[in-house]
A and B are shown apart, each in its own frame.
Chain A
Amino acid sequence: MKKSWLIVAAVILQVAVLAYMAGERELIVRTGETVWLRTAPVDPQDLFRGDYVRLSYDLSTIPRSAWRGQLAQRVEAVERKGWRGRAPLQEEPVYVALKQGESGTMELDFVADERPAHGPFLRGRIESVWGSALRVRYGLEAYFVEQGKGLELERGRSRDGIQVPLEMEVAVGRHGTAVLRGHRWCPLGIGIDLQQERKDNANWLHAATVTLLNASAQPLAIVDLPGLRSLTLDPAGEGWWGSPGNGWRWVGRGSEPPPPLTDAAVKVLQPGEKHAWRVEFKDAAWFVAKPGEAHRSLEQLNEWSARFRLVYRPPPAAACQHLREAERIWHGTLATRAFGAGGID
């Protein structure tokens, strides 16, 4: 009799583990706060679970400037030990505070090793620490879809060379645990084409064409400021090798005040319509430099560390309220793929 109870208890243990897994997630889906997160999807296929899309988020790589509390000191202590010290930080829990972005998705506020007192946050685990960047995993990196749909999602991500980010609907529980619920496409996509020349066994950049695509089913407005002021040139991530952006900074525009915002700057794109800009790197407005060094044109640069992104940044919603098409303007930032003399990543 006692033995029968032991056997039943062992079976109940297995059922209980599955019930806890499902129950915890179901509770979050039903009662958790819903947020949208923008992704950078990647690929593949899992043999036993059908298709799934591997996701990486804007929040997945966190620059040093966003580290708070004891986390920064702990990471610095690890860095002093060199690469051998990195292993202890792996799988350490961290808490990423979120703030509402203007495009309807949540954006990174800061990351700490303690739960934030207020506001929505996600609980993640450190995957790696390299240079000035913290790589964090949230348990949201796999999105399982019907067989065959994974490739469809992958194709949707890149339409004629224009990247349209996937945005994930996420339910967040009280303790920061998150569960994926669904997805949608970002209404705007961005693409880049480089004009390069091969000379003296090296590639030399001359110009780039940045294209925005209305990927939604509704008309959508973008802001095209004079002098290409809707675009900025950002170093490609806070770098792997120590100083932010590998030391490179965009210095071309300086601190000139922006021109007044008028309806002439607003372009309404119909569904599927594109709008393109041509950026000439010989123009001083696009010069870059490392601290203490002379300003240089991207045309003259052939260094592997000099990698950048062109970022579409419309004015904030508050500055656009007086415009006729204010309701249709998409407020958010979109970055192209990273590029340099070696081409596009």
Chain B
Amino acid sequence: MRKHVAWLETQLREWVRDEIITEGQARNLRSRYPENAAALPWTLILFSSLGAVIFGLGVILLFAYNWHAIPKFGKLAIVFGALAAAHGAGLWFHQRSTRFRGLGEGLTVLGTMLYGAGIWLVAQIYHIQEHYPNAFLFWALGALALAWALPSVAQALVAAVLLTVWSGCEGLGFRSPLPLAPVLLLATLAPLMLRLRSRVLLAVLVPATVLTCIFSQTGYPGGGEAVFGLVLNLGVLLLALGRVAAAGKLFPEAASILGLYGWLAFLIPTYVLTFPNAAEDLLNLREGHPFAPLAYWLVSLLLALGAWVVRGHQALAAGDTPESPRAHDLLLVPLTALLAAVWLLTGVADDWLAAAPFNLALLALALGMMARGCRGGALRPTVIGCLLLVALAAARYADLFHSLLARGLVFLLVGATVIAEGVLYARGRRRRGAAEGLT
């Protein structure tokens, strides 16, 4: 954001100098983009946090070297003293002025790392060997409290990672699934993310939520099929949320991040479902399938379809314009999730019968994106569509086209399509440039 504001300020000075706008108009334009005082540069957050983490680990190792020579209360004094010093210094710098706020935040992150180290060190002092995932939970709650109190993106990142680790330890280590873990994660961090408009936090929160959703189901024996469907549905949901965010005012900057994760979570499972053996295995619910993963899958499907309905209303209201043509091809995304749901519930006897619709859906999506990209001169759908088409052709090389003739023809067709796409994209780009020049 600061980069854009700096560019704007430079441009405003030139426009005023060239008498394109007046001084007053320049001030009005500048005032439309106030810098968020709580929004730290991501580099400062990243380096401060990374430095704090590594410093914290170094402290642990140094003390571990001399640990046994120190008496018990000496050890406790070091633990509490270090914690108080880091937080005290961090808060002093944080409250002192805006200029030192980043340093203060880094020190409080160090304090939180020392708090986590303190949990393990107190456990060592008293030879405590309890249910260790609880340590991650308490550590996360400590980070969460400071994330809200300061507020702090760095603390929120620590809390997100720790809650994910906690959920993973319970689900994978103890086969004790926590169905409410993703809800806890979102309920405690999503509002903070929206309040701070933090893309960094969103970029961590999305995969953390997906992972906790997966971990919350892994504790149930034999629940794999529903977990796979859950990931696909989450991808569909994220794509819808991305497009809703892009067209809305609440947090439009979230669109690219939601879109990136959405495409990953949607395309990978869909691509896997184009393989006949995988589709037959993953789209058949075993007898006695545990209820909780099914419930999770169903809820995620309803949320995903609901989000696309909202997006549909939004798109209809906005209308179809040359600058923002409707992406009809993207309707294939929720339709794919619906198809997977039907197959999962009814069961599929034949492997190619299971996989064929996903092959067709992915092919249609690839061609649709290529066409949309070429028409509007938009690079992203052009490239994604092309990559999808090539990946699909490569996948079917081994299992569908058995003769060299068939393989050769398919490659000729795909190659010609990609060449044509390049030509059409260039034309579309020129058309778009000309239209933007006229307006």
Chain A residues near B (Cβ < 8 Å)? 3-4, 6-11, 13-15, 17-19, 21-22, 25-26, 29, 48-50, 52, 83-84, 87, 90-91, 125, 137, 139-147, 149, 179-180
Contacts and interface: CB of A to CB of B under 8 A. Distances in A.
Contact of B61 (A8, A22, A48): A48
Contacts of A29: 126
Interface string B124-150: 111111110000001001100110111
Given A11-B87, A18-B80, A90-B176, 4 more contacts: A18-B122, A49-B124, A90-B174, A139-B129
Contacts of A49: 64, 120-121, 124
12 contacts: A11-B87, A11-B111, A13-B141, A13-B142, A13-B145, A15-B84, A17-B142, A18-B118, A26-B126, A48-B64, A52-B124, A139-B128
Nearest to A7: B149
B215 to A, nearest CB: 15
A194 to B, nearest CB: 34
B326 interface: no
A8 B127 CA distance: 30
Contacts of B94: 7
B146 A10 contact: yes
Contacts of A50: 64, 67-68, 124
Interface residues of B, number: 48
A140 B6 CA distance: 60
A11 B130 contact: no
- A-B complex: 3 closest residue pairs judged by Cβ atoms: A146-B68, A10-B145, A180-B127
A271 B76 CA distance: 40
Nearest to B86: A11
Nearest to B114: A14
Interface in B190-205: none
Interface of B: 57, 60-61, 64-65, 67-69, 76, 79-80, 83-84, 87, 91, 94-95, 111-112, 115, 118-131, 138, 141-142, 145-146, 148-150, 174-176, 219, 221-222
A262 to B, nearest CB: 45
A13 B111 CA distance: 12
B125 A18 contact: no
A143 B149 contact: no
B146 A11 contact: yes
Contacts of A14: 83, 87, 111-112, 115, 142, 145-146
A4 B88 CA distance: 12
A180 to B, nearest CB: 4
Given A14-B142, A49-B120, A3 B149 contact: yes
Contacts of B129: 137, 139-142
Contact of B149 (A9, A15, A25, A145): A9
Contacts of B126: 21-22, 25-26, 29, 179-180
Nearest to A17: B138
A22 B127 contact: no
Nearest to B125: A22
Nearest to B60: A48
A250 B424 CA distance: 87
A144 B124 contact: yes
Contacts of B219: 87
Contacts of A13: 141-142, 145
Contacts of A19: 80
Contact of A147 (B60, B68, B121): B68
A52 B128 CA distance: 11
Given A17-B142, A90-B174, A147-B65, A7 B91 contact: yes
A46 to B, nearest CB: 8
A289 to B, nearest CB: 38
A22 B149 CA distance: 26
A291 B95 CA distance: 78
A7 B150 contact: yes
A51 to B, nearest CB: 9
Contacts of B57: 48
Contacts of B131: 91, 125
Contacts of B60: 48
Nearest to A55: B129
A328 to B, nearest CB: 33
Contacts of A143: 127
Given A15-B83, A48-B120, A87 B127 contact: no
Given A139-B129, A146-B68, A18 B221 contact: no
A49 B79 CA distance: 14
B218 to A, nearest CB: 12
A87 B146 contact: no
A91 B176 contact: yes
Contacts of B221: 83-84, 87
Contacts of B128: 21, 25, 139, 142, 179
Contacts of A180: 126-127
Nearest to A53: B127
A343 B418 CA distance: 68
Contacts of A137: 129
B56 to A, nearest CB: 11
Contacts of B119: 17-18, 21
A145 to B, nearest CB: 7
Contacts of B148: 6, 10
A143 B128 CA distance: 8
B168 to A, nearest CB: 16
Contacts of A149: 68
Given A11-B146, A145-B68, A21 B123 contact: yes
Contacts of A10: 142, 145-146, 148-149
A139 B124 CA distance: 12
Contact of B127 (A7, A144, A147): A144
A51 B64 CA distance: 10
A127 B123 CA distance: 20
Nearest to B73: A26
A6 B115 contact: no
A84 B69 CA distance: 48
B66 to A, nearest CB: 9
Nearest to B69: A146
B83 A18 contact: yes
Nearest to A83: B221
A15 B114 CA distance: 11
